[in-house]
Structure 1
Amino acid sequence: MEPSDFLTRLWAESAHLAAFAADRDLGAPVPTCPGMNVGEVVRHLGSVHRAVIDWVRAQRRPEDWDRRPDDGDVIRWFRAGAAELHDELGRRPPDEPCDTWSPEDRTVGFWWRRMAHETTVHRVDVEAAYGPIGPVDAEFAADGADEVLSLYLVQRFGRGGRGRPAAARTVGVAAGSRVWRVTFDAASAEVTAELPDDADAVVIGDPAAVYLWLWGRRGDDAVRVCGDRAAAADLRAALAAATG
């Protein structure tokens, strides 16, 4: 994908989420985020957008930021923050040095990609509260599968002591033409772009289904799990800990 595609996606997904939730019941429960309703998911995402704005401007992780609308209009507040984030990121080239939480990518482009996927996943959450979810572009979804595996799982493995398997696991993941070998144990995780011959399990599906399965937004019925289903479940548990 071209870097500009992420910025375009960020804007489109933000606009769609706001338009979709406007004039609906914001108290509707979100099945993909147990214990949260639509208003809380929208407020969470708006808070994340504002945290990144502050992070980029100050070039360090913010200690505090705007987390809720003063007037209670969460949709208006969300739209304003999404527009400000898009403008703030868009005025900077993707290769411009920028502080991030990834030691391997200290550029503005990190935030272009991260916010595009953050917003898309939560758009899916909001749609799921009211009915069927809309499509996710295959190329973008495959990139998102790569991001959650190569970035979150590897760099945030075992957060809070959670998601560590009792035994070493090797799981293959195939999302369309993109493939990954995921090896993880109680100490760390490693991801490479190959499909293993010695996998305990292989998770296969179209890119959108695999992307959302990895993020815990779709169940096993959305993908095909070959081999040891417990190993695939261990991967999902490790991802839940890394992304939660």
Structure 2
Amino acid sequence: MTLEGSLTHEEYCAHLLAETDRFRQIVRTADLSVTVPTCPDWTLAELARHVGGAHRWAGAIVARRATAPVDPADVPDGKGPAGEDAAALDAWLAEGVEGTVAALRQAGPDAEVWTWAPPVQRAGFWARRMAHETVIHRADAALTAGAPFDLPAEVAADCLEEWLQICELPAAMERFAGREDADGDPLFGPGRTIHLHATDAPAGLNAEWVLDLTGSAPSHRRAHEKAAVALRGPLTDVLRVVHRRLPTDSDRVEVLGDRALLDRWLAWATFQ
């Protein structure tokens, strides 16, 4: 099992900076006391501290060439400013991501560091992970603030691909264990396949996936195939559905076939 992405290390670093900048634009102008609908345990200010804390934690791992987990309490200024001071949060976010990207660029993609996704133990994992972590939380922030959410197609496709790869990791399978039978209807079994189809992908970008749940563990492939259920729509909306940032009954997407299977998959493949 690998977690290979389709972008270069420098492209992930650049997208991490760009996504954080767009996240910061929302932080600077929105009501930071509002609850985030897709992360209801957090206000927008708390979401910002989560994002900035993740950046600094990953940056510390890379900068220290850590071969074991770093305690978040040992990350300088990892918690960020308290309260809802937009200017203070904005400056803290900017400083944190700039430090993290500097560490990632200095290390290069192949530097050996700890990750939570063995056997991948290199700095490139963190460049990709932090870029896409920021993408999804910008979607949270945009929804909260009523701001638009768009994304370069190649970034959206790689973000979706990364999530499917993560769901196949033994660590994820262990965390999700037991959920497939929670409603009395097993997730895995014969004929259980899901087709994800982006309807607006530019020429040359393969933005179709088949999730194969016919065995005892999930697998996926980039392909156009008939499946038990299909989710169709613009790429960024398919991505948001997969990450549970958009409901399957949204008028922005179309579900054809066994909707219950898609809903069971989405309930299973989440860290919430």
| Shift in Å, 1:104 | 4.1
Matched residue of 2:197: which SS?
Answer: strand
Q: Counterpart of 2:72? A: 64
- Percent of residue pairs identical: 27
Q: Counterpart of 1:42? A: 48
Identify the match of residue 146 of structure 1 among 151, 154, 161. Answer: 161
Q: Counterpart of 2:26? A: 20
Identify the match of residue 86 of structure 1 among 95, 101, 112. Answer: 101
Matched residue of 2:149: which SS?
Answer: coil
Structure 1 residue 219 corresponds to structure 2 residue 210: no
Which moves more between the two structures, 137-146 or 60-69? Answer: 60-69
TM-score normalised by the chain length of structure 1: 0.88
TM-score normalised by the chain length of structure 2: 0.80
| Shift in Å, 1:230 | 0.2
| Shift in Å, 1:69 | 2.5
1:42-69 CA distances to partner (integer Å, 9 max, x unpaired)?
Answer: 0111111122122222232113334422
Which moves more between the two structures, 36-45 or 47-56? Answer: 47-56
1:84-115 CA distances to partner (integer Å, 9 max, x unpaired)?
Answer: 11111121222333322222432221111111
Q: Where in structure 1 are there 5+ consecutive unaligned residues?
A: none
Q: Counterpart of 1:163? A: 179
**Partner Cα distance (1:202, 1:36) in 2:** 32
| Shift in Å, 1:70 | 5.2
Structure 1 residue 179 corresponds to structure 2 residue 208: yes
Matched residue of 2:193: which SS?
Answer: strand
**Partner Cα distance (1:100, 1:213) in 2:** 26
CA RMSD of aligned residues (A): 2.2
| Shift in Å, 1:117 | 0.4
How many corresponding residue pairs?
A: 240
Matched residue of 1:235: which SS?
Answer: helix
**Partner Cα distance (1:229, 1:13) in 2:** 32
Q: Where in structure 2 are there 5+ consecutive unaligned residues?
A: 1-6
